[in-house]
A = this chain, B = another copy of it.
Amino acid sequence: MHLRLKSGDDDMEMKFWNAATKAISPYVAGEQPKTRCIKLNTNENPYPPSSACEDVLRSVDVESLRKYPDPTSAKLREAVAGVCGVETEMVFTGNGSDEVLAFAFRAFFDEQTMIAFADITYSFYPVYAKSLGIPYSLIAVRDDLSIDVERYIAFKGGVIIANPNAPTGILTDTTDIRRIVEADPDRLVIVDEAYIDFGGESAAFMTKEYDNLLVVQTVSKSRALAGIRVGYAIGNSALIKALERVRDTINSYTVDSVAQAVAAAALKDDEWFEVNRGKIIASRKSLTEKLAEMGFETLPSAANFVFTTKRDVDARMLYEELKKKGILIRYFDLPRIDGYLRITVGTPEENEALCDALSVLVPASRKA
């Protein structure tokens, strides 16, 4: 007689789960719908990647896939090093920047080594910290939802800053990042630059100057390659070695051969990159203007999304009504930001469809 799982029987379901697995609060990503819709909810690039990616996929040596990938991702790391102006040994690559960040939390922080991050920021940070038993401190963003730089300078312990921040889109200047890094050379500063290419200056160049700075980027957003899962960290080679050690307790080969080649090709296509981000920055501006015409206040965004609010309108209702019309955006039911909508900058056509739908909803949606 063997114990069988009864549906709805939670105790049985968790029979083999350890205490940590039971306690997990997993990160919840934006929806990935299988039906056709206007998808402005997970900050994907609205345009196809560089044609160099297609060339790679059409010409990849399929026979070589029988072999393991290059575990050092040498060509990909060279491409990253070229873009960021650092040496190859200052680059670590992983299966998306989320994995790279998870490895960094695991490599550098623990019960004894606290980390601080903003109360309003990428919601994966508390998930990493909790799942690894790392004590963390929340530093409140200012009233205008910007990063409170002075409090990071004063904080004793490691810090992670999303720059530009998510979901606000607000940029912290590299001058301020430098002040935070310099304030205490004995604590590690991680700057998560997933969205930096849409309007900010990267701190990557400073990793040559400071051994306590780790910069994390991704090809998911500004290279239009969320589907191939490549992220990377730039930092002093001692930090990179620690990330390699953590990786090598989990999986020796985290970036597959095809992904290495496709990402490297994308990173080398400067022209595609400049044109693409130019289009998105222009669309962000015009989207922000159209939202303003409807009475929305939008935070200054350096990212490929906007964070916007309209005082007299219920944001959750707008999110839900747009979803019914096949337009997906993101709503966060969290203190301080539950009046906001996060909207990925789409193509001009997508942004127009969004604004058309909003203009119908807004006049009829005043709160009682």
Q: Which of A's residues lie within 8 Å of B, judged by CB?
A: 2-5, 12-21, 24, 26-29, 32, 34, 39, 42, 44-49, 53-54, 57-58, 60, 62-71, 95-96, 98-99, 102, 106-110, 112-113, 127-128, 130-131, 182, 185-186, 188, 209-212, 220, 224-229, 236-239, 241-242, 244-246, 248-259, 262
* A261 shortest CB reach to chain B, Å: 10
Given A2-B211, A19-B112, A258-B258; A251-B67 close (CB under 8 Å): no
* A29 shortest CB reach to chain B, Å: 4
Contact of A241 among B13, B64, B245 (CB under 8 A): B13
B66 close to A48 (CB less than 8 A): yes
A21 close to B68 (CB less than 8 A): no
B42 close to A66 (CB less than 8 A): no
B258 close to A227 (CB less than 8 A): yes
B128 close to A57 (CB less than 8 A): no
- Which B residues lie within 8 Å of A46 (CB)? 66
B238 close to A16 (CB less than 8 A): yes
Given A18-B110, A108-B18, A229-B256; A210-B249 close (CB under 8 Å): no
Closest 7 CB pairs of A and B: A26-B248, A65-B227, A227-B257, A131-B249, A48-B63, A66-B224, A229-B256
A249 close to B16 (CB less than 8 A): no
Given A228-B258, A238-B5, A248-B27; A18-B62 close (CB under 8 Å): no
CA distance A238 to B5 in the complex (A): 8
B252 close to A29 (CB less than 8 A): yes
B49 close to A67 (CB less than 8 A): no
Given A246-B21, A246-B24; A69-B229 close (CB under 8 Å): yes
